[in-house]
Structure 1
Amino acid sequence: MATPGMVLIDALRKTASNLRSGAYYAWGHHGGCNCGNLLQVVTQLSKEEILQYAHTGVGEWTEIAEEYCSVTSVPLGLMMTKLQEIGLTPTDIHNIEYLEDRDVLNALPGGFRWLKRNQREDVILYFEAFANLLEEKLLQQVPVEALLKESMNTPVQEAFTT
């Protein structure tokens, strides 16, 4: 499972928001599929640039993730590095593309169900559930004392204006 972190959580939510707002989506397009849309958020590259980089490797994102070598200097390696830097593993990348992570599916509103990898609404649900799951895990890692200390040092008025 991915390493919980705010950058990853924000990227998943931004990707879901972009898709909900009508961002280009085509499961068979490296730059416009599930991982392609996430990469657009993470790298600030266009779908066309991502497609160009993806064609430096062989296969779909799941195969590219499995073949990734952290030593390579190929542009595709840079994209895989960006995904790993925000906390994803090759297994996570596979699961994002196929909407298969059981923990994420169990966290869906209404409970577990299978989603279709090439359905925009299912992808949005998956990204949002994944973000929520990671946020819960992240909050579990934060000691309660640190939260209390931080809240004690922040004036109430300031907390509501920032």
Structure 2
Amino acid sequence: MAKANPNLIFKLRKTVEKLKKGATYQWGHMGACNCGNLAQEIIQISKAEIHRLAMQRSGDWSEQLVDYCPSSGMPMDLMISKLLDSGLERDDLIHLEKLSDPEILSHIPKERRDKMVKNHIADVILYLETWTQVLETQWAAAQSIQLLSVGRKINYSEALS
């Protein structure tokens, strides 16, 4: 799973906020799908630019992530490198595209989880919100461990705001 860090948590929250406010969502569009919407926030480029660069090679996000080569110089590989630099792992993005990470899904009630569809915006939002909560919990726990060694406490809601 992704390395929990405040910047990634912030970008996930921003992605959820944009989707809730009506950002373009189109599962079959490389720049407006599940990964595309998150990539827009992390990389700070438009959905059109993501799509244009991704179309220089064949395959959807999952296929291009499998073929990822950090030294290829291909635009899609450069985008993926930036996403990985944010704390994400390739598997995170593969799972995001299909809403399939078992750890994230385990935090969603079974009756709701069983009805999730990879290309429904409400399900994408639920998945991203749950993922954000999982990362926030991991980050807060890591901070608690660090703070115990110096004997301080932290207000996590303020730190994550």
CA deviations on 1:65-123 (whole Å, 9 max, x unpaired) are 11101112121111101110111111111100000001111122x45713211000000
| Aligned residue number for residue 106 of structure 1 | 106
Alpha-carbon distance in structure 1 between the residues aligned to 2:40 and 2:47: 7
Alpha-carbon distance in structure 2 between the residues aligned to 1:129 and 1:150: 25
Alpha-carbon distance in structure 2 between the residues aligned to 1:35 and 1:15: 10
When residues 83 and 145 of structure 1 are mapped into structure 2, their CA distance, relative to the original with a 3 A threshold, is: same
Q: How many residues align?
A: 152
TM-score (normalised: structure 1): 0.86
When residues 148 and 121 of structure 1 are mapped into structure 2, their CA distance, relative to the original with a 3 A threshold, is: farther
Alpha-carbon distance in structure 1 between the residues aligned to 2:80 and 2:137: 25
CA offset at residue 145 of structure 1? 2.6
| Aligned residue number for residue 82 of structure 1 | 82
Alpha-carbon distance in structure 1 between the residues aligned to 2:87 and 2:73: 20
Alpha-carbon distance in structure 2 between the residues aligned to 1:73 and 1:85: 16
Percent identity of paired positions between Structure 1 and Structure 2 = 37
Alpha-carbon distance in structure 2 between the residues aligned to 1:149 and 1:71: 43
- What secondary structure, in the 3-state scheme, does the structure 1 residue paired with 2:3 have? coil
CA offset at residue 34 of structure 1? 0.3
Q: Give the greater-gyration-radius structure (CA).
A: 1
| Aligned residue number for residue 132 of structure 1 | 133
Alpha-carbon distance in structure 1 between the residues aligned to 2:5 and 2:141: 12
| RMSD (Å) for aligned C-alpha atoms | 1.9
Alpha-carbon distance in structure 2 between the residues aligned to 1:105 and 1:150: 31
Of 126, 149, 152, 1:149 maps to: 152
| Aligned residue number for residue 155 of structure 1 | none
2:98 is matched by which residue type in structure 1?
Answer: Y
Alpha-carbon distance in structure 2 between the residues aligned to 1:62 and 1:105: 19
When residues 120 and 148 of structure 1 are mapped into structure 2, their CA distance, relative to the original with a 3 A threshold, is: farther
TM-score (normalised: structure 2): 0.87
| Aligned residue number for residue 29 of structure 2 | 29
| Aligned residue number for residue 69 of structure 2 | 69
Alpha-carbon distance in structure 2 between the residues aligned to 1:3 and 1:104: 14
Q: Which runs of 4+ in 1 moved over 6 A?
A: none
CA offset at residue 146 of structure 1? 6.3
| Aligned residue number for residue 156 of structure 1 | none
- What secondary structure, in the 3-state scheme, does the structure 2 residue paired with 1:69 have? coil
